[in-house]
Structures are given as C-alpha cells and as structure tokens.
Amino acid sequence: MITGEIRSKVDRIWDAMWAGGIANPLTVIEQLTYLLFIKRLDELHTLREAKANRLGTPIEEPIFPEGKNPAVEHRPVDCQELRWSRFKNLAPEPMFNLVRDQVFPFMKALGQNGRDELSEGEGSESSFSSHMKDALFMFPKASLLANVVDMLDAIEMADRDTKGDLYEYMLGKIASAGQNGQFRTPRHIIRLMVEMMAPQPSDAICDPACGTCGFLVAANEYLRDNYSSEIFKNAASRRRFNEETFHGYDFDSTMLRIGSMNMMLHGVENPDVRYKDSLEETHAGDSEAYSLILANPPFAGSLDYESTAKDLLQIVKTKKTELLFIALFLRLLKLGGRAAVIVPDGVLFGSSKAHKTLRKMLVEEQKLDAVVSMPSGTFKPYAGVSTAILFFTKTNSGGTDNVWFYDMQADGQSLDDKRTNLLDPELLGPVPARQLKPEEHAKNNLPDVLTRWNNLAGETGRKRTEQSFLVPKVDIAANDYDLSINRYKEVEYEEVQYESPKDILAGLNELEAEIAKGQKELEELIG
C-alpha cells in the first residue's frame, strides 16, 4: 500500500496537470506514463552500468549508447544528455525543448529498432516500446513539464510494490473521472477471481480485452507471492515468466500503452500485450493457446455478421458481443484450460436461441464449475447492471456434474455511487488480515466466497435457502439451462402472527373512547 504522503504527491501532480491545461484524465495518465517510462530507461541503464563497472567489461546492450541521438536528424545531442538523471536538472525551457525534440523521438524509436531494450536478450521489441510508435507529446508549456518532472523525481520508487501501487492509484483516477467509457473492474473483484483460479507458474494467462491489464497484474502478484522461488530459479524460468506467461489484447492503443506500463511497473518487463480486435479478427495463431482466461470484456451492442470473426460464428451464430466473447474464450482455451469471466445477467437467463445454445454448450459440452452472482452496485457509478462471474473448464466432452451457486450480497463497499469502504482496509478483499465476524461478513462476502469455493465438498449438504448451494446438472437442463441464481434459490417465508380483525376493532374503540373522554375533560376546563 502506498503511504498518505505519496498519495498527496500524486494528487498534487494530477492537480498540476489539470491546472496546466491537460484536462482529459486519460491524457494525464498517458503523459505521466511516458515520463515514468523515460525515468525507467535511465534506471535500467544505470543498473547495466553498475554491472559493467563491477565486471570491468563494456556495458551490455546500453539503452543510451555512445554518440549522437540516432532518432533525430536535425542537431542531435549526445545520447547521455537524454537520460532522466541529466535533464531533470535543466531549466524549464531547455528541459522542454530537449524532451520534446530529442528525448521523445528517442523513446518512440525504441519500438522500431527491432531489439528489446528492456529485457535480457535480442530479437524482439519490448511490449511497451512497441506501443510507443504513435505516441504524442502533449505538455503545453515548459513550466508544467518542469514542475511535473520535479514532483515525480521526489517520489521514492525504489521497490516494485511502491511503483505498482502508485500506478494503480493513478489508474484509479481514470475510474473516478469516468471519461470515455473507460472504467476498471474493481480491484477486489479481480483479486477474488485470481484467488479462486489460483494460477500456476506453468499457466499461459490471457485477457482478450485487457484494458489497463488489471487481471494480468493481479495474476502476476499472486504468482510472485506464492511461487517466487520457482519462477525466478534461473534465467530460463525468469524469461518464461516475463515473456510467455501473460497475454493481453486490446484495440485501444492508449490502453495498450497504459496496460504495458502497468505490467512493467509491477515487475513484468515484456508481456505479450498487443493490438487486436478480439471479435473481428480470426484467431488461428491463438486458438487453444492459453490455459487460463481472466476477463471482464466490454459487453455492449452488436456486431454485423460481416465484421465478426468467422471462427466465432461457427461456435455460436449471434451478433451480441456478450455471447461472442464467451465463444472467444472457448476458442482460445486449451483442453483443460480454465476461465473466470464477468458477464451481464442477461447471459444467464436470455431467451434467444443463441443464449440457450451457448448455455447448453457450457453445461453439456464443457464443465461449468460455478456462477457467483454479484450485487447490482458492483460497477457503480458507471453502470448499475447486475453481473455474475462464470467459472468453467474447457473439456469438449462435458463433465458438468453439480454447478456451485453463490449469492454475493456485499463486497466490502457501499453499493451506491460513492462506493465507500464499509470496513477497515485490512478487512477488505478476499483475503483479510483475520477471520471476519458475522457482522463484518454481512458487509464483505468475498472471504466467504473464497473459503466455500476451496471446500466444495462441504457444500453438498447446503439447502437452497442458504447463501451458496450446489445444483445438479439435471435440474439446470430441466430449467432450459437457466443459470440465474434466483431460478434455484428457495426463499423461506417466516410466519407472522397478526391480531384478529375483531381484536383490532376492539382496540380502536378503546382508543376512540379515551380520546372522547379527554376531549370532554378539556372542554370542561375551558369552561
């Protein structure tokens, strides 16, 4: 967690950007991302310098090579002048001119040189560098750039956790601003899904609508916390973790830059984060490539058949994006691959032929593991739509026996537009600092979801009046493969004893008599 002091520093940077004329929060994040990247380049070059000095050898793959800036033709400066540690001490006007005319072109060129400057080896450009090709420098004036550079330089970002949390805090400001329809899946919901899926070092993890890479970041944190010695035991395992474990697509180049930087600041230098329209492009190269999918794709609107990937239409013929994404997940998963994906409630009970076909496919041809229903305020203030998390395994041969349903009623935050915390921070999320008391569970169901999921054997005896229960496949088939929890949840009605009408009337007569008596006494007093 970042400290209050760092939060206030970030807030001051944000305020300075707004006051300086950069009002769009996505643009603010993007411009700060470029500066963080430039700072990161200098840090990496310094590390390689230190290693070379220790060994008494030349610097291996220097980011800032000797000689003039190769990215510009007109008056190129020495590459060493492009380093953050050098230009941060310049006066505002010279700094502005250097960053705009020299540093920025140099940074953009990193993605075009055919070599990965940010990891150990050659042959491929880094994920972030490759998305820098169409980046724009949008600081309007020198004083603003100098002010922001000074404030960023004053924030201590030595360790990975601080850098990652700081960037997450910045990304939270996109959500609070709610611009451009961009809003993130709440971090505690992401963490719940990751904890329930429990990724392994051998997994190839994919989010086909990755946005800011929230799911991939959380999976990275889980693997580091639980399998650190395994993923970092040698150079080959480190390379696999950094380059082959995490995969994300998006068709918004701004989000690709932000998502790649998010991964980089969380310690993953070169994830496979790339431009792709998941629903419109064929998936020949990615078919059955991944063992775990974590996603909350944008479910909005419809596509024309002509613009929809043909391999998805072979699975389910529909124009609805929410159904096409489920088909996409099935297409991308390996046999035995697992998925945890957020869907709008309409997917669970929609009555169209495509809805029913897809649900039947999940139940009869694959292995549907669980449906976790979430409260309707989970995505406020952006959307009040009810959603659920589907958990399934690709088998192509069935395997559904019992489906586990959980009725989540509270996620630790108020379900209004403010989404304020209902408990202390250490008691929030799926893994609180201690076991929650009953009154705390009523405000945060996430730890209970995880506990019950990890002990499905103990769910067999639960009644359908409880918060979670198992439903046999035969019951789901009998209900036209409806997957909404309300179809199976039984409500207990408490018997309430009321007075008989005769007794109620007698009581009213007594009251009227008392009123009449009091009124008569008052009249006598008045005279």
Domain ranges of the chain: 4-168, 181-487, 498-526
- Answer whether 423's CB lies under 8 Å from 444's CB: yes
pLDDT for the residue 44:
83
Residue indicated by tokens 């650190």: 228
- Answer whether 276's CB lies under 8 Å from 249's CB: yes
pLDDT for the residue 440:
96
CA 473 vs. chain centroid, Å, equals 31
**Degrees to nearest 5, angle at CA 390 with 386 and 393:** 170
pLDDT for the residue 1:
54
Cα–Cα distances (Å) from 512 to 219, 289, 505, 517, 525, in that order, read 70, 80, 10, 9, 20
Tell whether the model's pLDDT for residue 471 goes beyond 50.
Answer: yes
Per the document, the length of the chain is 527
- Tell me the pairing of strands 402-407 and 367-374: parallel
Query: What is the percent of the chain where pLDDT is above 70?
Result: 90
Residue 293: name the closest of 373, 369, 193 by CA.
Answer: 193
Question: Which amino acid appears at position 199 of this protein?
Answer: P
Q: Which two tokens stand for residue 475?
A: 């019951």
Beta bridge partners of 107: none
Q: Which two tokens stand for residue 469?
A: 């229960």
pLDDT for the residue 371:
97
Give tens-digit pLDDT for 260-274: 888 887 888 789 998
Q: Residue range 336-343: average pLDDT?
A: 96
Residue 39: name the closest of 142, 156, 172, 121 by CA.
Answer: 156
DSSP SS3 for 389: strand
Cα–Cα distance for residue pair 211/233, rounded to 1 Å: 31
Domains 4-168 and 181-487 equal at CATH topology level? no
pLDDT for the residue 283:
64
pLDDT for the residue 450:
97
Q: How confident is the model at residue 109 (pLDDT cuts 50, 70, 90)?
A: confident
pLDDT for the residue 111:
55
pLDDT for the residue 182:
43
CATH class of the domain comprising 4-168? mainly alpha
CB count within 10 Å of CB 229 equals 7
Cα–Cα distance for residue pair 463/469, rounded to 1 Å: 6
Q: How confident is the model at residue 6 (pLDDT cuts 50, 70, 90)?
A: confident
Q: Residue range 196-225: average pLDDT?
A: 94
Give tens-digit pLDDT for 225-246: 999 999 999 999 999 999 999 9
- Answer whether 132's CB lies under 8 Å from 104's CB: no
Backbone angles phi, psi at 121, to 5 degrees: 145, 180
Q: How confident is the model at residue 119 (pLDDT cuts 50, 70, 90)?
A: very low
DSSP SS3 for 275: strand
DSSP secondary structure letter of residue 495: P
Cα–Cα distance for residue pair 356/349, rounded to 1 Å: 8
- Answer whether 334's CB lies under 8 Å from 290's CB: yes
Tell whether the model's pLDDT for residue 178 goes beyond 50.
Answer: no
| pLDDT mean across residues, the chain | 86
Cα–Cα distance for residue pair 292/193, rounded to 1 Å: 11
pLDDT for the residue 164:
72
DSSP secondary structure letter of residue 363: I
pLDDT for the residue 525:
86
- Residue 381 preceded by cis peptide, ω within 30: yes
- Answer whether 107's CB lies under 8 Å from 41's CB: yes
Cα–Cα distance for residue pair 69/81, rounded to 1 Å: 9
Give tens-digit pLDDT for 273-316: 988 887 776 666 788 999 999 999 877 666 666 667 777 877 77
Q: Residue range 134-163: average pLDDT?
A: 84
Give tens-digit pLDDT for 381-434: 767 788 999 999 999 999 999 999 999 999 999 998 888 899 998 999 999 999
CATH class of the domain comprising 181-487? alpha beta
Q: Residue range 44-67: average pLDDT?
A: 88
pLDDT for the residue 307:
63
DSSP SS3 for 298: coil
Backbone angles phi, psi at 389, to 5 degrees: -105, 125
pLDDT for the residue 160:
64
Q: How confident is the model at residue 74 (pLDDT cuts 50, 70, 90)?
A: confident
Tell whether the model's pLDDT for residue 370 goes beyond 70.
Answer: yes
Q: How confident is the model at residue 180 (pLDDT cuts 50, 70, 90)?
A: very low
pLDDT for the residue 303:
66
Cα–Cα distance for residue pair 492/336, rounded to 1 Å: 39
Q: Which two tokens stand for residue 448?
A: 């209970």
- Answer whether 389's CB lies under 8 Å from 371's CB: yes
- Answer whether 405's CB lies under 8 Å from 485's CB: yes
Those residues whose C-beta lies under 8 Å from the C-beta of residue 439, and which sit 6 or more positions away, are none
Query: What is the percent of the chain where pLDDT is above 90?
Result: 51
Cα–Cα distances (Å) from 308 to 116, 279, 333, 361, in that order, read 34, 6, 19, 20
Q: How confident is the model at residue 166 (pLDDT cuts 50, 70, 90)?
A: confident
pLDDT for the residue 129:
67
